[in-house]
Homo-oligomer: A and B are copies of this chain.
Amino acid sequence: MPTATGQRQLPIGIFDSGVGGLTVLKAIRELLPHEDLLYLGDTARVPYGTKSNASVINYALQASQHLYGRGIKLLVIACNTATAAALTTLQDHYHPVAVLGVIEPGAKAASEATRNQHIAIIATESTVQSGAYEQALRGYNPAITLSSKACPLLVPLVEEGWLSGGIVEEIINHYLQPIFAQDHKPDCLVLGCTHFPLLRTAIENVVGKNTCIIDSAASMAHLVEQHLQQQGLVNPQQGSGKLQILVTDLPNRFLRTANLFLDQEETLAAVIEQVDLTHSNIGA
């Protein structure tokens, strides 16, 4: 089925509670440099990981409505908490336009990487409580053993820019020691929150180099590429894709933290805009 050129040229929408989804944006940008990207970070209401499913679904619907209102060809939920709480709702709401969540590709990569069939997952409180990773993993291999741990302090740690050093490793160790001190310990650790890839070195220092660390950003980018190819939605234009960033609070704090996520490679100040989602009119 041919797809209209206009639709192919629309940006990919990427939605996150704040700045963490930039790890996903970066992976998509590296793999698909010709695609335009429209990123929305809900910085006025971040973090999502400690809020109820009902609130997160409400926020995710408002954000998606805004992105679809501007015109996107695909929506990527680059936030594990929002994926766990709202993916099914969003997929129902926007059918037949695709909505991809960050949990499925992470779970797939982990199920392929593990050798001893024991996987550990660290995430926010609500992602862990949702059981979404467990459900996705069991879809690939019902026999997998899963050890999951909510690590609420790691998000503010990253937002604060504390990425290495003794205190950081002690906090990580406090969370992971009970899992990795087992005899049959996991050989694979899923970073089930888009903030966590910034702590990768510190996490490796705690769990050891023999543990395979899965960061869903790269897997997500490959899923996006595959989806665009299958649906005939690859942007036919050459050259670098455009980047636009939307935030719901003032941009200054986002810009400061964004540098941690993007290796200071982008000049975001020129492409950032503040938007108000609270007056979105969501159909039932």
Give the CA-CA distance A275 to B159 in the complex, in Å.
29
The segment from A48-56, A187-195, A222-230, A235-243 that touches chain B is A48-56
Partner of A170, one of B43, B55, B166: B166
Number of A residues with CB within 8 Å of any CB on chain B: 27
A249 at the interface (CB under 8 A from B): yes
Residues on the B chain within 8 Å of A51, using CB:
43-44, 249, 253
Partner of A45, one of B45, B155, B250, B253: B45
Partner of A52, one of B54, B157, B166, B249: B249
- A65–chain B nearest beta-carbon distance, Å: 14
A278 at the interface (CB under 8 A from B): yes
Interface residues in A7-49 by Cβ distance below 8 A to B read: 43-46
Give the CA-CA distance A44 to B277 in the complex, in Å.
14
A167 at the interface (CB under 8 A from B): yes
Residues on the B chain within 8 Å of A170, using CB:
166-167, 170
Give the CA-CA distance A250 to B50 in the complex, in Å.
11
Residues on the B chain within 8 Å of A250, using CB:
52, 54-55
A183 at the interface (CB under 8 A from B): no
Residues on the B chain within 8 Å of A54, using CB:
250
Are B153's CB and A249's CB within 8 A?
no
Residue in B closest to A47 when the chains form the complex, CB atoms = B47
Give the CA-CA distance A250 to B129 in the complex, in Å.
15
Give the CA-CA distance A153 to B152 in the complex, in Å.
11
A174 at the interface (CB under 8 A from B): yes
Q: What 7 new A-B contacts, CB under 8 Å, besides A50-B159, A52-B249, A167-B174?
A: A52-B250, A54-B250, A55-B250, A152-B160, A153-B157, A155-B156, A170-B170
Residue pairs across A and B with Cβ atoms less than 8 A apart, 8 shown, are A46-B50, A52-B250, A52-B252, A54-B250, A152-B156, A152-B160, A170-B170, A278-B278
A interface with B by C-beta (< 8 Å): 43-46, 50-52, 54-55, 152-153, 155-157, 159-160, 162, 166-167, 170-171, 174, 249-250, 252-253, 278
